[in-house]
Structure 1
Amino acid sequence: WALLQLDEFLLMVILQDKEHTPKLMGFCGDLYVTEKVEYTSLYGISLPWIIELFIPSGFRRSMDQWFTPSWPRKAKIAIGLLEFVEDIFHGPYGNFLMCDTSAKNLGYNEKYDLKMMDMRKIVPEMNLKEIIKDRQCESDLDCIYGTDCRTLCDQSKMRCTTEVIQPNLAKACQLLKDYLLRGAPSDIHEELEKQLYLCIALKVTANQMEMEHSLILNNLKTLLWKKISHTNDS
């Protein structure tokens, strides 16, 4: 019963048949065990904390991108993230929001299939609306859940609105931009960059957002699959 109170456990159970959810191996009380995932971050290298202190954040981000798989393998991992976004977008159990879209929450196995490492900040949209609807605010900065689920502050009521501004797909594309563009084949680089920026610009409030969402997601997946489908790395 204790586990059923945890959003990440419920989501894991709901999505057990999906490729990018770690397989649930067992549970007892308020503990659960999932399959082992070989690579526990999308990119980067772990360094001792004392060294981390002396590395500028901009250089650290660049350095992280050096320690990544070959480009076709990165493309396969990226397709996995796009498929996961699809899995939780208005599915049979409603819409789920990714509220901490960072490299450390994504991993992959030895076949370069994406696996979600941490699902604690993936929440049902209805739950988030309940959490944030009565939150007092002075500016939009007061209306953030997790690290990147943002709503607007209604200045007339000094309360947060409930509509999240940026969809999951836009946040996923923001995370994938440098990851995919670094080392991308020259014949698709320009089109890939264009599609990623269109994706990042998606807003929940835009007219026909769901249609644009589906179109951009399919364009990106098709572009990547076409390029890697004939390679051994895929």
Structure 2
Amino acid sequence: HFRFNAFDITKVWPQGEFPLIPVGRLVLNRNPSNYFMEVEQAAFSPGNMVPGVEPSMDKMLQARLFSYPDTHRHRLGANFQQLAINCPFAAAVRNHQRDGPMCLFAAGSEANYFTGMPTTSGVQTVTPSAGELAVRVDGATRRYDQTPAHAADDYVQPGELYRKVMTEEDRAHLVDNIVDHLKAARVDVRERILLQFARVDKSLAERITRGLATADAASAAGAGAGAR
């Protein structure tokens, strides 16, 4: 059991404990020559995986495995995989979708379902190059476990981001942005929010407090000048 839920999308896996593993290189060597064809019609999906790579049980990922292809069908039509930008390089589409709007290739008399019988493109066979992991799923459906230890850990990574990752300029910009939005809030709202920032980093809460005091003084001075 790790100190936080590995599938919590509000957490980052620390690179110090989980070093990045290079898996390849993506080379961008030109700009799109046709923006609509190569950008607007692109249909990316986390479900497009090579054999041997499977999705985790991350709930957000599981939702997107469904929603992305469904959105593509709504946006681009059922035959979106036939569009050049969405096809494997130098390969033809091999699925059972037939006809309908924006159909680019005539499939002749081929069936629109898997038959295992010879077709014009050859005998349909399934020869997976990698097995699929069997995952046992049972029990009641519920939210992720949120123990007191998990709740306390919610403030650890934001604190490390503020202290170790941000530069002093970044921290100053963060404080200025928070003050700019918080200065119009009621006093009780300010107090509750400052308590949360104090759990992230005490000095962050102190800098925000000083910034609010400066903003309040400037606002009062401006109101006084306007009244005169």
Q: TM-score, normalised on structure 2?
A: 0.24
Q: TM-score, normalised on structure 1?
A: 0.23
Higher relative contact order (CA 8 A, sep 6+): 1
1 or 2, which has the higher strand percentage?
A: 1
Q: Larger Cα Rg: Structure 1 or Structure 2?
A: 2
